[in-house]
A and B are shown apart, each in its own frame.
Chain A
């Protein structure tokens, strides 16, 4: 009797035996779909359950208030303060939107002269094109986009915004600039200037040339040791005391330089952290194939270093974007300052005016900062795919 016969016999003696595998059962309903997600993410442990309840209570408390203020109780039309006052309207009053609506041009352009405001609109359009062209991966000819964004666009914007008599654009003094315009100009100059300067400073600090290293170290440590407010204040108040009378460096320019230098010092430390995370083998391998210093950095080291530091770089950018509000210290009217000025206007004086103004500022900064961090997350995810191979 062969082995298989013995097996057949054994099976025959056992009544019923399933010959093929059962089809897999779907997981229990409680473990999949929305219910499963909730159980796994919100209610997985006792601590988690407590936290979930606390957060839910918090949201239930905050969100209706915000929705009430911004929409349900809000005033949508009106000519002056009476529209937004409880004692006149005899009802609960939320956000005073007609105030924002009337002051919106001021929030966007500041005191930029009325007939010239189209120039600011064109600048916003140029900037939007630059942002999309360089940041959207599907855009065609992104190499030209880079040249456009970093060379053509800044030059064109400067001519456009500041003016150039020869081609018939009257000069608009930067004292008149304000609102979103100033916030965007200051933030983009800071963002664009700080990365290259920061990389150079970071490389300088790790350099083997003592003079370069010393300069970079002193610069970084000095700038990081001083608050931004102080840098701006020095640039704005003290500088004019030590230059000749007729030479008056532009106030906005002074602030821009101050912010660019300040941001690059912080950026340098972020990039340096990335450089230190690169294994020594990468440097040695690059040297072994005969690359020069700049080739090594450009082709091997920096791409890896920058990739690891993307979250920190974006973190810096978000902080910088919000730090631009500090230029009000030197008498430049950024968005927040124009809102502060508008809320003082007696025409719209009402208890809700200030709150409405600050809500607008909060929404603006939230949208921009959240946008930046979402984009950074997307880039991170894309770059991380190469590590998962």
Chain B
């Protein structure tokens, strides 16, 4: 049995290796980027009423397509479940995986895949009724908490209460939907999930304004895009697409002012937008690759506000995802 498993793993690796070389060339020849995404997570990857995909993860794939093809529509979104997302990337079915995947050591080391960065710092939080007059998760001693079964969420919850010597009663449900319904019906005092999901779930409650999301984040969930190991050029392209969007925000280059910004005298903007140097060509792209990204998709801040922030129904606070110079931890190395 072990031998068979080892052989299968070897086969997967061999195939993955052969599939990973020259991804940029493959994508260019194909004329379209294959992007594995969620498809069922509001704000990150979800088709809208016309069937067009929208979301923060989706925008990252659109930005890569914009950089390569100068056309953000040249992306084929492949909806992937949590189970088969890694296999899909390993097998070459998708070129990049942008599906709210938490960066962990085991995923980074044992799958033959690499994380290229963090496009959203998430973490597990709690939502409670305002009437409960609780302002901190540390005041939840003795509370009953609705949670989805068999997730890391459930484990984090237990860990958190144990490490703070607090008691709680977890009420588990097979799906997030059921857990939210139960919380809304008053079965539990609080509901816990990843903070990004909490904002979306809260809208589905009978009266969203009666509930608050507590400030404590009890786990680290850095979400980032993944590529296959063994193709450093492609790894760099995906990594620097995100950095380009972050740098553009830092330098106040937006989709609206990018054309004027290209005429700017600021050397940092000049290097970013390719009017000075050839940083795009070093990546295997064109000099104006960042202009394409920002013009067609927007900078990180624009994408964030449009999909999950104040411009969306979710209205998630930027929090940790603010730029480093505005109190967050989003930080991109400079282009030079």
B103 within 8 A of A: no
Hey, what's the 0/1 contact readout for A103-114 against B, CB within 8 Å counting as 1?
Answer: 101100111101
Closest Cβ of chain A: how far from B32's Cβ, in Å?
8
Say whether A349 contacts B50, CB under 8 Å: no
Complex interface: chain B residues within 8 A of A241 (CB): 11-12, 15, 87, 90-91
Say whether B80 contacts A331, CB under 8 Å: yes
Hey, what's the 0/1 contact readout for B1-29 against A, CB within 8 Å counting as 1?
Answer: 00000000001100100110000001000
Within the complex, which residue of A106, A251, A341, A346 is in contact with B203, where a contact is CB–CB below 8 Å? A346
Q: State A347–B314 Cα separation when bound (angstroms).
A: 9
A-B contact count (CB 8 A): 106
Pick from A130-138, A170-178, A289-297, A373-381 the stretch touching chain B: A170-178
Say whether A173 contacts B76, CB under 8 Å: yes
Q: State A87–B210 Cα separation when bound (angstroms).
A: 10
* Nearest residue, chain A, Cβ from B20: A245
The 9 residue pairs across chains A and B that have the minimum distance between CB atoms = A111-B51, A349-B203, A346-B313, A331-B79, A87-B207, A240-B91, A349-B204, A241-B91, A346-B42
**Which residues B30-67 have CB closer than 8 A to chain A?**
39-43, 46-53
Q: State A240–B52 Cα separation when bound (angstroms).
A: 26
B218 within 8 A of A: no
Closest Cβ of chain A: how far from B232's Cβ, in Å?
19
Complex interface: chain A residues within 8 A of B48 (CB): 345
- Taking Cβ atoms with an 8 Å cutoff, the residues of B that contact A are 11-12, 15, 18-19, 26, 39-43, 46-53, 76-81, 84, 87-88, 90-93, 177, 184, 200, 203-207, 209, 312-314
Say whether B92 contacts A245, CB under 8 Å: yes
Say whether A344 contacts B15, CB under 8 Å: no
Say whether A245 contacts B203, CB under 8 Å: no
Q: How many residues of A contact B (CB 8 A)?
A: 43
Complex interface: chain B residues within 8 A of A349 (CB): 42, 200, 203-204, 313
A217 within 8 A of B: no
Within the complex, which residue of B18, B51, B209, B313 is in contact with A106, where a contact is CB–CB below 8 Å? B51
Q: Would you mind naming 7 contact pairs between A and B with Cβ atoms under 8 Å apart?
A: A87-B206, A111-B51, A178-B51, A251-B78, A344-B40, A353-B204, A354-B204
**Which residues A101-147 have CB closer than 8 A to chain B?**
102-103, 105-106, 109-112, 114
Q: State A242–B18 Cα separation when bound (angstroms).
A: 12
Say whether B40 contacts A341, CB under 8 Å: yes
Q: State A86–B46 Cα separation when bound (angstroms).
A: 26
A73 within 8 A of B: no
Query: If the complex has contacts A109-B51, A111-B51, A241-B12, are A344 and B46 also in contact, measured as CB distance less than 8 A?
Result: yes
A351 within 8 A of B: yes
Complex interface: chain B residues within 8 A of A345 (CB): 42, 46, 48-49
**Which residues A305-341 have CB closer than 8 A to chain B?**
329-331, 333, 338, 340-341
Q: State A349–B314 Cα separation when bound (angstroms).
A: 10
Query: If the complex has contacts A81-B203, A331-B80, A331-B81, are A346 and B39 also in contact, measured as CB distance less than 8 A?
Result: no
Hey, what's the 0/1 contact readout for A350-361 against B, CB within 8 Å counting as 1?
Answer: 110110000000
Within the complex, which residue of B15, B50, B79 is in contact with A114, where a contact is CB–CB below 8 Å? B50
Complex interface: chain A residues within 8 A of B46 (CB): 341, 344-345
Complex interface: chain A residues within 8 A of B77 (CB): 175
Complex interface: chain B residues within 8 A of A233 (CB): 84
Q: State A85–B88 Cα separation when bound (angstroms).
A: 40
Q: State A86–B87 Cα separation when bound (angstroms).
A: 44
- Taking Cβ atoms with an 8 Å cutoff, the residues of A that contact B are 81, 85-87, 102-103, 105-106, 109-112, 114, 173, 175-176, 178, 233, 236-237, 240-242, 245, 248, 251, 329-331, 333, 338, 340-342, 344-347, 349-351, 353-354
Complex interface: chain B residues within 8 A of A354 (CB): 177, 204
Say whether A331 contacts B39, CB under 8 Å: yes
Say whether A105 contacts B49, CB under 8 Å: yes
Within the complex, which residue of A240, A340, A350, A353 is in contact with B40, where a contact is CB–CB below 8 Å? A340
Query: If the complex has contacts A333-B79, A341-B39, A346-B313, are A102 and B204 also in contact, measured as CB distance less than 8 A?
Result: no
Within the complex, which residue of A178, A329, A331 is in contact with B78, where a contact is CB–CB below 8 Å? A331
Say whether B206 contacts A351, CB under 8 Å: yes
Closest Cβ of chain A: how far from B75's Cβ, in Å?
10
Complex interface: chain A residues within 8 A of B49 (CB): 102-103, 105-106, 342, 345
Closest Cβ of chain B: how far from A349's Cβ, in Å?
3
* Nearest residue, chain A, Cβ from B48: A345
Query: If the complex has contacts A245-B19, A345-B42, are A350 and B50 also in contact, measured as CB distance less than 8 A?
Result: no
Q: State A241–B177 Cα separation when bound (angstroms).
A: 34
Q: State A109–B47 Cα separation when bound (angstroms).
A: 12
Closest Cβ of chain A: how far from B230's Cβ, in Å?
14
* Nearest residue, chain A, Cβ from B11: A241
Complex interface: chain A residues within 8 A of B81 (CB): 329, 331
Complex interface: chain A residues within 8 A of B53 (CB): 111
* Nearest residue, chain B, Cβ from A99: B49
